[in-house]
Amino acid sequence: MHPSIQAFFDPATNTVSYIVHDPATKKAAIIDPVLDFSPRNGRITTTSAAALLAAATDQGLDIIYLLETHAHADHLSSAHHLREVTGAPVIIGAKITQVQAIFGPLFEADDVTYDGAAFDRLVEDGDTLPLGDLTINVLHTPGHTPACVTYVIGDAAFVGDTMFMPDYGTARADFPGGSAQSLYQSTRKILGLPPETRIFVGHDYLPDGRTEFAWESTVADQRAHNVHVHDGISEGEFIAKRMARDKTLDAPMLILPSLQVNIRAGGLPPATPGGHVYLRLPINAL
């Protein structure tokens, strides 16, 4: 079956959010929504979330899920805001508890319990969710983080950061809890889907030789052309290449504000007695 898919590209973070819906019933899910954050002045707005809601309203869609592929380190999630507006539950992979246990202490986030309670439902490999006449199938695809999941809906797979466009490769695996070996195994799980399966990525960055942003490929395209995991690349070759590449990468610009919000399902830290909300920047801690 073919879900209807709309992509929303955020140029500030190179993030792609999606609205996926069942054309027959108008039941819809939002995947990886962005909360707009300016690191220059600490201002947060919901412009990107409003665009998602406006598109859903224009089409008469009923948003019944807010799906997170993982706890992002490059943008803040607007899942909490969208939950307040729509009443839809926020869903993420069950291993988010490991991510909370890693990063909660870093930010001394005493309000965060390491049981995933900030989210409404934790999903495991093999779980399913109904989306009208469609079914959301959950694949646990760790490696970038322990909690990464891929959502397969009809002929479409939403892979988050696990894989990018074929000319860019795969996600990094050097964050705490990451694993290049697990990442390779996860990519093979995704690439084991039918070759015509459409792959929708969570980010796009322009490699040399490409000038237009893109976010859709197919399993066949990825198996033939992905620069890191095309057919014929062994696990050992991938691990060596991935680890060498990761050593050259800087931390994402928004990793510190993002993680302390995203382990709270897009919620902000509690306000101080004076009514201010602060995001912490631990020094020399990463």
pLDDT digits (tens, 9 = 90+) for 183-207: 999 999 999 999 999 999 999 999 9
Closest CA to 242 of 143, 111, 147: 143
d(CA 184, CA 234) in angstroms, rounded, equals 9
Q: Is the dihedral of CA 267, 150, 114, 72 positive or negative?
A: negative
Q: How far apart are CA 215 and CA 205, in angstroms?
A: 10
Tens digits of per-residue pLDDT, 130-188? 999 999 999 999 999 999 999 999 999 999 999 999 999 999 999 999 999 999 999 99
What does each C-alpha distance from 19 to 3, 25, 132, 204, 280 come to in angstroms? Answer: 10, 14, 14, 17, 31
In a domain, 29, yes or no: yes
What is the pLDDT at residue 286?
78
> What is the distance between the alpha carbons of residues 278 and 268, in angstroms, rounded to a whole number?
8
Q: For the whole model, what pTM was predicted? A: 0.96
As given in the structure block, the two tokens for residue 171 are 């996600």
* In the chain, beta strands by DSSP E: 4-10, 15-21, 27-31, 34-38, 43-45, 62-67, 76-77, 90-93, 121-123, 128-131, 134-140, 149-153, 156-160, 198-201, 216-218
CATH number of the domain within which 72 lies:
3.60.15.10
Residue 241 within a domain: yes
Residue 281 domain-assigned (yes or no): no
Tell me the mean pLDDT in the region 78-93: 98
**284 is a domain residue:** no
Q: Tell me, what's the pLDDT at 202?
A: 97
Residue 248 lies in a domain: yes
* Angle, alpha carbons 258-13-94 (nearest 5°): 45
Predicted confidence at residue 214, as pLDDT, reads 97
Distance CA 217, CA 159 (A): 11
Q: Tell me what the pLDDT averaged over the chain comes to.
A: 96
CB 257 within 8 A of CB 37: yes
Dump pLDDT digits (tens) for 95-119: 999 999 999 999 999 999 999 999 9
Per residue in 224-257, pLDDT (tens digit) is 999 999 999 999 999 999 999 999 999 999 999 9
Sequence-ordered list of residues with C-beta below 8 angstroms from that of 31, at least 6 positions apart, any chain? 17, 18, 19, 20, 67, 68, 69, 151, 158
The range of the structural domain enclosing residue 96 comes to 4-252
The answer to whether residues 261 and 77 touch, using CB atoms and an 8 Å cutoff, is yes
Q: Are 257 and 39 in contact (CB under 8 A)?
A: yes
Note the pLDDT tens digit of each residue in 35-59: 999 999 999 999 999 999 999 999 9
Question: Is residue 79 a part of any domain in this protein?
Answer: yes
| Domain assignment of residue 128, yes or no | yes
Specify the pLDDT at position 236: 97
Is residue 55 in a domain? yes
Asked whether residue 285 carries a pLDDT value surpassing 90, the answer given is no
Backbone angles phi, psi at 261, to 5 degrees: -85, -45
DSSP code of residue 156: E
Based on the structure, what is the number of domains in the chain?
Answer: 1
Band (pLDDT 50/70/90 cuts) for residue 1 is confident
Sequential DSSP letters for 231-267: TT--HHHHHHHHHHHHTTPPPPTTHHHHHHHHTTTTP
Q: Report how far residue 63's alpha carbon sits from residue 53's, in angstroms, rounded to the nearest whole number.
A: 9
pLDDT of residue 203: 97
Q: In the structure encoding, which two tokens stand for residue 285, read together?
A: 């801690």
Amino acid at 31: I
Asked if the model's pLDDT at residue 32 lies above 90, the reply is yes
